Structure 1
Amino acid sequence: MKSLASFSNFVGKTFALWVIVFAVLGFLFPDTFKQVAPWIVTLLSIIMFGMGLTLSVDDFREVVKRPFDVTIGVLGQFIIMPLLAVILTKVIPMPPEVAAGVILVGCCPGGTSSNVMTYLSKGDVALSVACTSVTTLAAPIVTPFLVWMFASQYLPVDGWAMFMSIVTVVLVPLALGAALQKIAPSVVKAAVPALPLVSVIGIVLIVSAVVAASKGAIAQSGLLIFAVVVLHNGFGYLLGFFAAKAAGLSLAKRKAIAIEVGMQNSGLGAALATAYFSPLAAVPSAIFSVWHNISGALLANWFSGRLDEEDKAKISQTA
């Protein structure tokens, strides 16, 4: 069991590498990885179930203890990223399916990998986890509404069906995971070390399936979509950081909110785009999955060397 936990930890730390490898494999062997496409929703449900296993009451205590900080993070997530997506689709000419996909990934909640990146950046991890939890729970209502408001100009949007999908794929597995944690804590404790491995397998298979299904479109428009994703992600980090700074938050909190805003639950975006739009619309989410893990790791590394006086005092007390 210890060797499995060590391997799982290694795979989790090298997540970005595996996403890139499987994206390439999906492009090179589309017929093989297209077979994964019918399982995208199931894979995402398994990932969200794993997240439910790790949720704790303490995650939500942070919301009560620090409502202002969490509100800044949640509003940043659901205002900055959707508006950035809309601006990019207006400024950069792109096919309607791609535009809808860019907006969809911008309207998704925060991704769980943001919590890891916040930890690596020496940011406020508790705030990051609280923001991820709140945006994930709010997603069934907020995400379909935002997608309907901003993306219906490009493709028809069935907000109610999208709401039901997110409830089924996100909330139900989360609730089941949290319930199992209460019913069988010893079983969950034994399973938790393997969760990074399960999450990585799920995400890389989703990415490879989306890439395989859209190989032709990626060959034709891949560089354009990549450029849009890089801009979307980068400006998300930047505006998230300065929104937190404008709110008077400490550097550790600014790091958390910058990373939280810039990193999306792109697995959810890919699943929704595949189900309600087209395989091409899922490509921005797939590329986002690859890129935000690379950029997040680079940003975390840069952030980790920047501490304010409050952070230095905490480190000196624990030393």
Structure 2
Amino acid sequence: MDWKERNSSKGQQFNIANYTVDFGNVSNSFNATSPENSGSSPLQVAAKIVLMLVLLVIMFSVGCQIDVKDLFAHLRRPFGIVIGAVAQFVLLPLLAFGAGHALQLPPLQALGMLVMSCCPGGSTSNIFTYWVDGDVPLSVSMTTINTALAAGMLPLNLWIYGGSWSATTAAIPYRNIAEAFALVVFPAAAGILLRWKRPKLAAVLIKVGSVCAALSIVLTEALMFALYPRMFFVTWRIYVAVILLPTVAYVLGYVFAWIVRMESPQRRTVSMETAVQNFPLCMTLLALSYPKEQLGEIAIYPLLFGCFILVESILFVAGFRLKEWINRRSQKGVEEKQRMFFLNGDCQKKEEKEKEKEKADSIEKEKETWKMENEKDNVTVYA
């Protein structure tokens, strides 16, 4: 019994025969090209152009946040970069391998999850790192280094773990890895240069990039729903994997950084870089490596991941901002109590000084009175 018959026997509403028609050009919508498809819909072409421009603006604004000294400090002592690479290329593929077997996912769906977990972080993690007050220079360094390392670590991880579900050798999209590397490095470098030359203008562009990033998230979610609405008609096991795996990656990335005693901003950065992968790169790899009849099922997890990781990252940011707001309120309350305490202490001291002054004045008056009485007595005796 093949996988289509298994799905229908379980009463699932997912019809892959109708679904794979759109999958050939999935990567075209997200800055990737499939050799098996020559055409793209107007919506896909528009999505590609808009998202490309937004990505350039975002990475340029990310570069505007980076101080050259901080960047070179991470490159000279790449401890955080190494920790991030280990979390990205060792912990996460192992987690995906274990989750695929624990949830007993169909082979192609499990393979899609494995491929997604083996991909490096993308530019999305950089902007979310900024939103959680993380270490942006470390984030950009990790994204750049991990993208370069993916040329070797991606096929290695697929060779180690992929044999459980497929004998197909994945075609590594080295060209797209190089493009992803360039899209991170060059706009960020331009932003760094602008911060060095025009820091005030860079501060303004940081806000512009943040707004563009927020709009791009809304646009990406809308495009995912518009282009691939049927991807949501899948088994509950996929939903568990899509929600659970990034959540565990967030936690493990943070805990791993905490174990090695990294500072709180660096811990949040490693957590974000571990959980957020380069979705377009994953879709390109799948389009280059697997035939159309398999691409529909194998791309289910990456497509759902592309939607849910944005939602989970937004919740991560919202949780952090809520925690910061509570801390600020608590700190403000503590400062107010301290101010009142010192104010009350000052009032008490002032009252004590006034009493002491009154007492001293009273003693001085008594002395004056006693002196005047003595002088009168002396005058009387003399007379």
Shorter-chain TM band: 0.5 to 0.7
User: 1:248 aligns to what?
Assistant: 261
SS in 2 for 1:61: helix
Higher relative contact order (CA 8 A, sep 6+): 1
Structure 1 residues 145-164: aligned runs within 5 Å: 145-151=156-162, 153-155=164-166, 156-160=168-172, 162-164=173-175
2:70 and 2:137 in contact (8 A); partners too: yes
For the residues of structure 2 that align with 1:252 and 1:178, how far apart are their CA atoms?
20
* Aligned amino acid, residue 177 of structure 1: P
CA drift of 1:123 comes to 4.0
User: 2:230 aligns to what?
Assistant: 216
User: What is the CA deviation profile of residues 29-58 of structure 1, one whole-angstrom value per residue up to 9, with x for unaligned ones?
Assistant: x9xx97544677666654554455344645
Pairing partner for 1:114 from 108, 125, 137: 125
CA drift of 1:79 comes to 1.7
User: 1:260 aligns to what?
Assistant: 273
* Aligned amino acid, residue 292 of structure 1: E
Residues 1:232 and 2:252 are matched in the alignment:
no
User: What RMSD over aligned residues (CA atoms) do the two structures have, in Å?
Assistant: 4.0
Residues 1:64 and 2:75 are matched in the alignment:
yes
Q: Which moved more, 1:88-97 or 1:149-158?
A: 149-158
CA drift of 1:299 comes to 4.1
User: 1:17 aligns to what?
Assistant: none
Q: Percent identity?
A: 22
Q: State the TM-score, normalizing by the size of structure 1.
A: 0.67
For the residues of structure 2 that align with 1:248 and 1:102, how far apart are their CA atoms?
31
Q: Which runs of 5+ in 1 are unaligned?
A: 1-26
SS in 2 for 1:249: coil
CA drift of 1:127 comes to 3.0
SS in 2 for 1:220: coil
CA drift of 1:279 comes to 4.2
CA drift of 1:157 comes to 3.8
Residues 1:173 and 2:187 are matched in the alignment:
no
CA separation of 1:193/1:303 partners in 2, compared to 1, >3 Å: closer, same or farther?
closer
Q: Which moved more, 1:89-98 or 1:298-307?
A: 298-307
* Aligned amino acid, residue 230 of structure 2: G
CA drift of 1:109 comes to 1.9
CA drift of 1:107 comes to 1.6
CA drift of 1:204 comes to 5.3
Aligned length: 275
Structure 1 residues 266-305: aligned runs within 5 Å: 266-277=279-290, 278-280=295-297, 281=299, 282-301=302-321, 304=324
Larger CA Rg, structure 1 vs 2: 2
CA separation of 1:270/1:194 partners in 2, compared to 1, >3 Å: closer, same or farther?
farther
For the residues of structure 2 that align with 1:302 and 1:201, how far apart are their CA atoms?
21
User: 1:138 aligns to what?
Assistant: 149
* Aligned amino acid, residue 182 of structure 2: V
Q: Which runs of 5+ in 2 are unaligned?
A: 1-18, 23-28, 30-40, 336-383
User: What is the CA deviation profile of residues 38-86 of structure 1, one whole-angstrom value per residue up to 9, with x for unaligned ones?
Assistant: 6776666545544553446456413234321221122112222211111
Residues 1:77 and 2:97 are matched in the alignment:
no
